[in-house]
Structure 1
Amino acid sequence: MGIVKAVCISENRGTQKVNVKTAEFAMNYGIVGDAHGGDWHRQVSLLSNEKIEAFQREGADVLPGAFGENLIVEGFDFSSIPIGTRFQCKDVILQLTQHGKQCHSHCQIYYKMGKCIMPTEGTFAEVIKGGIISVGDELIQLKDRDDRLTAAVITLSDSGFAGQREDRSGLLLKELLEEKGYRMVESLLLPDEQSQIEEELIRLSDQRDVNLIVTTGGTGFSPRDCTPEATLAVATRNAPGISEAIRLYSMAITKRAMLSRGVSVIRGKTLIVNLPGSPKAVKESMDCIVDQLPHGLNVLLGRVSNCARP
């Protein structure tokens, strides 16, 4: 059990949050009156009171809301609690969606202390059920959680990102994964920029703890095709058999399948698989691998053992 120590909001982005002590939490939005509310996965930010106190002992002098946090709670180390975990405070139910964040511009705390705890210790959540939270309220961790495998889809296409072509492949991938029972976390459309692709792969793997990331596009011979390079750059381990199986399967349909440079890798507890860019190739590739992926993912997550068949 935890105790709410502060409830903070800011009416405008870029301004420091202040402790308003009580606030209304709206389902699928966030905190009413907070500039960071909306239809996205970072509706509410949480920070452990113990982490703030430890930082204060290092010489920081900060007020509630200084790190951009909405809720300060005593009794939980949110950064160590798995994504997907749910918490309840009176009527409000929150579900954790992301650990930490990337700071693109440093705050005053960073310039004073040389670091800031929000990028590493902060945790974000969605509002599953709305209500009122006030300072002094009890926050409890719920036992039930959504244990479905999670997935994200990234479409890589300069023309698609520019709005010149419909993203049919990404939509098809999302539908196929949902049909197989995956809980979709994000669907992104990005240009063929290696640094941007790497950044999103790292964020989805490390901060959102996505189990499976499937990319479509950017695997050919064009000078702009860099998806395999970006994927290999963020890998901690290789998983070549998946992409080898896709090419072998597709070679029976078209010899041009040999020209796909897609790779499959592991980053931490996340499997990343590159698919070609056309809807036809996406369908063929998924037909080949989709039924085998859950076993590999569950082994990766430690849910089942990797037992060989007799």
Structure 2
Amino acid sequence: MGKITGICISEKRGTSKHPVDEAVIREGWGIENDAHGGNWHRQISLLSQEKIDAFRRKGAEVKPGAFGENLIVEGIDFSSLPVGTRFQIGDVLLELTQIGKECHQHCQIYQKMGDCIMPREGVFSQVVKGGRIRTGDEMEVLPPDEKRPFTAAVVTLSDKGAAGERKDESGPVIADMLRDAGYEIKETLLLPDGMEPLTQELIRLADQRQVDVIFTTGGTGFSPRDVTPEATIAVCDRMADGIADGIRNYSMGITKRAMFSRAVSGLRKKTLIVNLPGSPKAVREALEFLLPELPHGLMILRGTAMECARK
């Protein structure tokens, strides 16, 4: 159980947030009169009072809202909670959607202190149910629903696609098949081939969004720009070779050219990353093979299923 010690808003993006005594929370939007509300996954930002206090003890002079946080809460370490955690404040219900954020341009706090806690300690949420909140209100932490849909992200690798010279056909096939199978698609991305953009996005999707599975399509062949497997290996803690090998063996029964696929699969924390081929036909065939069995592996990652050993 935590307690709200501060509510902060800003009427325009790029301006500092200022404290208010109470606020109206709108379902599917965020805080009324706050510029960061909208139809997206970062509607309300939260930061622990204890993290702010510790930062102040280092000599930082920061006022409520200085980090861009909407809610300051005492008694809850937000960054230690998994995505999907829910927070109850009276009638209001929030769901944790992202841990931390990228810091593209260092803020004034960082420039003065050489550090800023928001990128690693701040979290973001969506509004499941709205209502009115006030400073001093209690916040209850509710565990994620074990029956919630599996979440997924789809990343297409294509130089021509990213440059607008070719339509991405494989990514939408993956997304459509996943939705039909009951998955919730959190993000779809189209990136140029190459190591750095892909590794950055895989890390973000696994660490901050904490999606259950990431599917990549493209970049698994013999071309010098085909480095999707290398990027995947670079970010994974453990490999899951059986998935890539199984897809490859299945595809060999359709076309012998499947032998030229260098696709890999692996795990980063509790996220599975699966490389798929680049063509829509091959993607469809691979998912027809994989999707019926995939929920068991994802439930093991979540900790809601037993291992695969049989008597």
TM range (shorter): over 0.9
2:54 is paired with a residue whose SS is helix
State how far apart, in whole Å, the 2-side matches of 1:171 and 1:33 are. Answer: 35
Amino acid at match of 1:291: P
State how far apart, in whole Å, the 1-side matches of 2:194 and 2:14 are. Answer: 28
When normalised by structure 1's length, the TM-score is 0.93
The answer on 1:134 being equivalent to 2:154 is no
Identify the residue that residue 11 of structure 1 maps to in structure 2: 11
State how far apart, in whole Å, the 1-side matches of 2:192 and 2:133 are. Answer: 41
- 1:234-273 correspondence to structure 2 within 5 Å: 234-273=235-274
Identify the residue that residue 308 of structure 1 maps to in structure 2: 309
Which stretch shows the higher mean deviation, 164-173 or 196-205? 164-173
State how far apart, in whole Å, the 2-side matches of 1:288 and 1:263 are. Answer: 16
Structure 1 residues 19 and 269: alpha-carbon distance in aligned structure 2, compared to 1, 3 A threshold: same
Identify the residue that residue 170 of structure 1 maps to in structure 2: 171
Amino acid at match of 2:299: N
When normalised by structure 2's length, the TM-score is 0.93
Identify the residue that residue 58 of structure 2 maps to in structure 1: 58
State how far apart, in whole Å, the 2-side matches of 1:201 and 1:144 are. Answer: 23
The answer on 1:23 being equivalent to 2:23 is yes
The answer on 1:231 being equivalent to 2:244 is no
State how far apart, in whole Å, the 1-side matches of 2:24 and 2:160 are. Answer: 42
Identify the residue that residue 180 of structure 2 maps to in structure 1: 179
State how far apart, in whole Å, the 2-side matches of 1:10 and 1:223 are. Answer: 47
Report the CA distance between 1:286 and its aligned residue.
0.8
State how far apart, in whole Å, the 2-side matches of 1:207 and 1:152 are. Answer: 12
Which stretch shows the higher mean deviation, 61-70 or 18-27? 18-27
- 1:81-96 correspondence to structure 2 within 5 Å: 81-96=81-96
Which stretch shows the higher mean deviation, 99-108 or 64-73? 99-108
Report the CA distance between 1:217 and its aligned residue.
1.4
Report the CA distance between 1:143 and its aligned residue.
5.1
State how far apart, in whole Å, the 2-side matches of 1:288 and 1:177 are. Answer: 13
State, as a whole percentage, how many aligned pairs show the same letter.
61
Aligned residues: CA RMSD: 1.8
Amino acid at match of 2:187: E
Amino acid at match of 2:72: I
The answer on 1:44 being equivalent to 2:38 is no
2:199 is paired with a residue whose SS is helix
| 2:84/2:144 contact within 8 Å kept | no
State how far apart, in whole Å, the 1-side matches of 2:8 and 2:162 are. Answer: 36
2:211 is paired with a residue whose SS is coil
Q: How many residues align?
A: 310
Identify the residue that residue 154 of structure 2 maps to in structure 1: 153
Report the CA distance between 1:84 and its aligned residue.
0.6
Residues 132-164 of structure 1: CA deviation (Å, up to 9, x unaligned): 222222222235636332211111222322333
Amino acid at match of 2:295: P
Report the CA distance between 1:307 and its aligned residue.
4.0
